[in-house]
Structure 1
Amino acid sequence: MTNRRQFVTALGGAAALGALQHPLAALAEIVAQQVKIYYGFPAGSAGDSVARRVADKLGGTDFTKLNPVVENKPGAGGRIALDSLKSAPADGSVLALSQASALSTYPYIYSKLSYGLADFAPVSIGAVMTHGLAVGPMVPASVKTLKDYVAWAKANPGQASYGSPGAGSTPHFLGALLGLNSGADLRHVPYRGSLPAVNDVVGGQIASSLTPSGDYLPFVKASKLRVLATSGAQRATYLPEVPTFAEQGFPELVADEWFGFFAPAKTPAPVIAAASGAIQAALKDKAVADGLLSVGLLAQGSTPEEMRRSLQSEYERWGPLVKKIGFTAES
C-alpha cells in the first residue's frame, strides 16, 4: 500500500527525472511526430471531449506540428490507458488523459496496482468536473429531491442500485458515502465508463447513476432523467436548478474532480514544458472552453507543478474516506 511519504517521493521523483534531461534535440524530434493521446473511457463521454477538443488545437505549436490522435482504451476504470502510457516511449509522442482518482484513490484500493506516480510526469490539468446523482423511469416521478430518493431507496432496497464509471471511481465512492451517511442500502453497479451507466438508467435497467454531471445533459434536456444532486461546492452553472449534496445535508459529498494530461516519467523537461504550454493555450481558446462547458466541464489548465500539488492534496483527502467506506479491489 502506498503511503504518504512514498507518494510525495514519487511525485518529486517524476519531476526530477524530467528535470535531469535537457536534450533540445528531443524537442525537435517530437515536433515531427504524430502524438497519441490515450483516454481510458469510451468515445463520446465528457472526458473524451477534453482529449479531442484540446488535440484539435495542438497542431502547429511548439509541441507538435500535427494534431494528436486520440485513442480510446476503455476498461478497468481508466487503468488500461495508464498501463499503456507507462510502457510508451518517453519522448512526448504519447500522452494520456486521466481522471485524478486513478492516481489519488486507486493506490488505496488496489494492492497490486500495476503503476504508480513514479511512472508518470504531470503535464497539465485539462478540465474540472462535478458528479451528479440522476434517476430514470425506474424511480417514481414523485421522487424529486435527494431526501425523496433516500426514502424511496430505503423502502425499495431490491431496486436501490446506482451505476458508476467503474469500481473505485470517485462517483462510486460518493454513492457509497451517501449510503453510509443516509442509512440507505445502495447497491453499486460498476460500468466501463459513464455513458453505459447513463444509458441503462434512461432505459430503466437500473434506478440511478452517479457519473460526471455533463454526461446527463442531453437526457435532462430530453426529459429522460432527473438529476437530484451535484457534488460541487456550488451549484453547477449548466444545472443551476439542481441543489448540491451539501445543500441537501451531505457535506462530505463535496467533490470536484479533474481530468489531466500525463506523460511517461522520463520524458525530457523541455518536451513536458512545450506540451504543458500548448495545452494551457488550447484551453484558453473560447471555442474549446465553450465546447467543454456544453458537456459540463470547466476548462482549466495548469503548470506541471500545480497539477502535482493538486494530486497530492486529493491523495491525502481520499485516504481517510476510502478507509471509512472499506472498499478494496479484493472486497
Structure 2
Amino acid sequence: MTLTRRSLLQTTGATALLASIGQQAFAQAGFETARIITGFAAGGTSDTTCRRLATAMAPGYAKSVVVENKTGAGGQIAVTYVKTQPADGATILQTPTSILTIYPHIYKKLPYDPVADLSPVSLACVFDFGFAVGPAVPASVKTVPEFLQWVKANPTAGNFGSPAAGSTPHFIGALLGKSAGLELKHAAYRGTQPAMLDLLGGNISAVSGPIGDIMQHLPTGKVRILGVSGEKRSRFTPDVPTFGEQGLKNMAHSEWFAFLLPAKASQEVVGRLNTAMKSALAQKDVIDGLAGFGLEAMSSSPGELADLLKKDTAKWAPIVKEIGFTAES
C-alpha cells in the first residue's frame, strides 16, 4: 500500500480530464437515481462524506445521487442491506473500516462476509480520532492521564461513548482505560453525534470518536479534546497532543471511509464507479468540504482498497484479543 495523505491532492491537476472522460462513461450507466447507503446517523462524518460525494457525482454518474441512512447494529444493517441489492452500481455502500476489519474478530457470526459479499471500489478519506470530555468532568482535567487519574478517584464516572460497539473508537477508549488499569464503562450509540449530545448534557463523561464529529461542538465551550489518536498531531486540532505525546504507548490508530458494491459487480461497473469517485474526490470543494469535518480526502484503486482491508483485518486481530471484547461480552 503506497497511498499517502498527499496522494490525492497531487492528482488535482487531472480533475478536468477525469471529469471529461467520466461524463461520457457515466452517461452509459443510465441511472435515474443512485443511492449511497451509510449505517450511521445524519450529521456525522460518515453521513457528511456521503452527501459531499453524492452532490459531486450527480448528474454525471446518475441523474441524482441520494443518501440513505440505514442505522443500527453498529453499521451492520447497512452492509447487510447492500449485499442483497443488484450489483449494477446503483446501490453503493459507504462504511468505516471497523465494520469490515474488526467485526470479524468480535462476532462469532456476522450477517455478511466482508470479502465474499462486497466488491471494493475506492477509499474516500482518512481521519484520526479524538478523546473528548464534557461538563461532567472538571475543567481542571486537561490531559488523558489527568482524566484517568480523575476516574480512579471517581470510579462511578468512568464511562465514555462511541459510535458503535466494536468500532475503532470503542477500542481506543478501552485501551486508554487498560493503560491505567481501569475498565472504562462503554456506551454504544448509533453514530458519534448522539453520543456528543449526551456528552453535552452531562450524561456521560467522555466520547471517543472521529475528530470531525467532536470539532463541531467545540464552539459551545462545553467540550474539550484531551488527545488525538494519530502518529502526529492533527492539522485540524494542532494544539491537542497525541496520545503518544502524553506517554500512552501503541495508541496510534487512524481510520478510513470507503465505498464498496455488492460482490457480483462486474469490473466494468466497479471501474465506472471508481472513476466517478476519483473525479469527485479531486474536486476542490469536496476536499475543502471534507476538511471542514476533520477528514482528508483520499481515493484509491479497487486493488489498493482490497489490500488495505486485508492488512487492517490482520492488524486488529491481536488488539481485539488483548482487550478481550466479543459481541457477547
* 1:183 positional shift: 1.3
Q: Which residue of 2 aligns with 1:227?
A: 225
Q: What are the residue-to-residue correspondences of 1:135-284 with 2, within 5 Å?
A: 135-284=133-282
Please, which of 77, 80, 92 is the counterpart of residue 80 of structure 1? 77
Q: Which residue of 1 aligns with 2:57?
A: 58
**Amino acid across the alignment from 2:314:** E
Which segments of 5 or more consecutive residues in structure 1 lack a partner in the other structure?
1-25
1:70 matched to 2:67? The reply is yes
Q: 1:178 to 1:273 in 2, by over 3 A?
A: same
After TM superposition, what 4+ stretches of structure 1 lie above 2 angstroms from structure 2?
A: 26-33
How many angstroms apart in 2 are the aligned matches of 1:65 and 1:150? 50
Residues 57 and 67 of structure 1 are in contact (CA less than 8 Å); yes or no, is this contact kept in structure 2?
Answer: no
Residues 164 and 188 of structure 1 are in contact (CA less than 8 Å); yes or no, is this contact kept in structure 2?
Answer: yes
Q: Which moved more, 1:230-239 or 1:214-223?
A: 214-223
The C-alpha deviation readout for 1:235-273, integer Å capped at 9, x for no partner, is 111110001111111232211100100100101111100
Residues 137 and 202 of structure 1 are in contact (CA less than 8 Å); yes or no, is this contact kept in structure 2?
Answer: yes
How many angstroms apart in 1 are the aligned matches of 2:86 and 2:172? 36
**Amino acid across the alignment from 2:97:** A
Q: Which residue of 1 aligns with 2:33?
A: 34
How many angstroms apart in 1 are the aligned matches of 2:319 and 2:271? 34
Residues 37 and 97 of structure 1 are in contact (CA less than 8 Å); yes or no, is this contact kept in structure 2?
Answer: yes
| TM-score for both structures, normalised by structure 1 | 0.89
How many angstroms apart in 1 are the aligned matches of 2:57 and 2:26? 15
Residues 154 and 185 of structure 1 are in contact (CA less than 8 Å); yes or no, is this contact kept in structure 2?
Answer: no
Which segments of 5 or more consecutive residues in structure 2 lack a partner in the other structure?
1-24
SS in 1 for 2:150: helix
The C-alpha deviation readout for 1:171-212, integer Å capped at 9, x for no partner, is 011111111112123111111110010111111000001011
The C-alpha deviation readout for 1:116-161, integer Å capped at 9, x for no partner, is 1210000100011111100001000000111111100111110110
| TM-score for both structures, normalised by structure 2 | 0.90
How many angstroms apart in 2 are the aligned matches of 1:42 and 1:299? 21
* 1:222 positional shift: 2.3
SS in 1 for 2:49: helix
How many angstroms apart in 2 are the aligned matches of 1:65 and 1:141? 50
Residues 31 and 90 of structure 2 are in contact (CA less than 8 Å); yes or no, is this contact kept in structure 1?
Answer: no
1:106 matched to 2:103? The reply is yes
**Amino acid across the alignment from 1:45:** G
* 1:42 positional shift: 0.5
SS in 2 for 1:98: strand
How many angstroms apart in 1 are the aligned matches of 2:272 and 2:63? 14
Residues 108 and 322 of structure 1 are in contact (CA less than 8 Å); yes or no, is this contact kept in structure 2?
Answer: yes
SS in 2 for 1:130: strand
Q: Which residue of 1 aligns with 2:12?
A: none
How many angstroms apart in 1 are the aligned matches of 2:40 and 2:52? 16
The C-alpha deviation readout for 1:58-77, integer Å capped at 9, x for no partner, is 1243xx23231100011111
Residues 27 and 270 of structure 1 are in contact (CA less than 8 Å); yes or no, is this contact kept in structure 2?
Answer: no
How many angstroms apart in 1 are the aligned matches of 2:145 and 2:324? 25
SS in 2 for 1:148: helix
RMSD value, Cα: 1.4
How many angstroms apart in 2 are the aligned matches of 1:191 and 1:29? 40
Residues 33 and 93 of structure 1 are in contact (CA less than 8 Å); yes or no, is this contact kept in structure 2?
Answer: no
* 1:91 positional shift: 0.8
